[in-house]
């Protein structure tokens, strides 16, 4: 056994790392290192197992989209997808009553939680997540991918946040998991053009993500 983990757990971790790729293990470790900070999120705000399942799904899809564009190190895109909603965890942890009020208002009104956040707080979870990654001195590309994933064209380098945004929309539509947002994010044709994803390619992309989701999600359980 390695590090006191049972053999089955080691095998699962090995399979997950193999699926993600081996070139960016340091980036993966950086992303995973923040997870213990959010263990005590109130259950009335979010189911954490469902939160990480959604986050992993977005990470997988973002990586697959980057690989389609022949990025030389698509593994880092997994971390961008994994952490794309980390700002929402900060809201759940630091201001649970306000976060719960935002969730309730989104449910009552049938609006995107993103829009309710902007209305109640004056900012949204993506901005907060980007600021957090900047404070933690994450690579700027990861910071911007998280910060801009709902508005990629607002930044100087729109491709990485665009891939996260497209992945977030796909995951919200067809993959299990939920970060608190019950609706599918808005469709922006110009962002999908950046991702270079056509309708005929979508089923294979989703099938690959579904095949990898449970193994990789087990890393975060």
Q: What is the pLDDT of residue 24?
A: 54
The CATH number that applies at residue 129 is 1.10.3210.10
Question: Tokens 């049938």 appear where?
Answer: 110
In a domain, residue 195? The reply is yes
Question: Tokens 């189911």 appear where?
Answer: 47
Q: Taking the model in full, what pTM does it have?
A: 0.88
Those residues whose C-beta lies under 8 Å from the C-beta of residue 77, and which sit 6 or more positions away, are: 59, 62, 63, 65, 66, 71, 145, 160, 163, 164
In a domain, residue 196? The reply is yes
In a domain, residue 140? The reply is yes
Burial of 65 (0-12, 13-18, 19+ CB in 10 A): buried
Please tell me the distance from the alpha carbon of residue 139 to that of residue 91, in angstroms, as a whole number.
23
In a domain, residue 29? The reply is no
Low-confidence stretches of the chain (pLDDT beneath 50): 1-10, 22
Q: Which residue in 79, 69, 87, 99 sits closest to 24, CA to CA? A: 79
Looking at residue 148, what DSSP letter applies? T
In a domain, residue 133? The reply is yes
Q: What is the pLDDT of residue 182?
A: 93
Q: What is the pLDDT of residue 5?
A: 42
In a domain, residue 31? The reply is no
In a domain, residue 144? The reply is yes
Please tell me the distance from the alpha carbon of residue 216 to that of residue 166, in angstroms, as a whole number.
20
Q: What is the pLDDT of residue 87?
A: 96
In a domain, residue 149? The reply is yes
Which tokens in the block code for residue 105?
Answer: 């208002």
**168 with 125: CB under 8 angstroms?**
no
Question: Tokens 């829009």 appear where?
Answer: 115
Q: Which domain holds residue 213?
A: 47-84+125-220
Looking at residue 186, what DSSP letter applies? P
Count of structural domains within the chain:
1
**63 with 81: CB under 8 angstroms?**
yes
The SS3 of residue 119 is helix
């Amino acid at each position: 056994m390695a590090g006191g983990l049972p053999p089955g757990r080691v095998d699962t971790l090995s399979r997950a790392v193999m699926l993600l790729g081996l070139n960016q293990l340091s980036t993966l470790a950086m992303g995973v290192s923040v997870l213990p900070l959010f263990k005590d999120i109130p259950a009335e705000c979010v189911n954490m197992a469902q939160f990480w399942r959604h986050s992993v799904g977005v990470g997988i899809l973002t990586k697959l989209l980057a690989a389609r564009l022949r990025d030389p190190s698509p593994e880092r895109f997994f971390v961008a997808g994994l952490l794309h909603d980390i700002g929402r965890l900060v809201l759940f942890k630091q201001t649970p009553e306000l976060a719960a009020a935002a969730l309730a208002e989104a449910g009552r009104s049938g609006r995107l939680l993103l829009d309710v956040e902007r209305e109640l707080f004056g900012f949204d979870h993506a901005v907060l997540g980007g600021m957090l990654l900047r404070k933690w001195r994450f690579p700027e590309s990861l910071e911007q991918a998280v910060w801009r994933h709902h508005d990629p064209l607002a930044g100087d380098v729109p491709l990485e946040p665009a891939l996260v945004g497209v992945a977030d929309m796909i995951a919200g539509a067809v993959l299990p998991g939920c970060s608190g947002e019950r609706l599918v994010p808005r469709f922006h044709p110009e962002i999908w053009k950046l991702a270079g994803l056509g309708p005929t390619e979508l089923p294979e992309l989703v099938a690959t993500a579904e095949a990898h989701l449970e193994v990789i999600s087990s890393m975060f359980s």
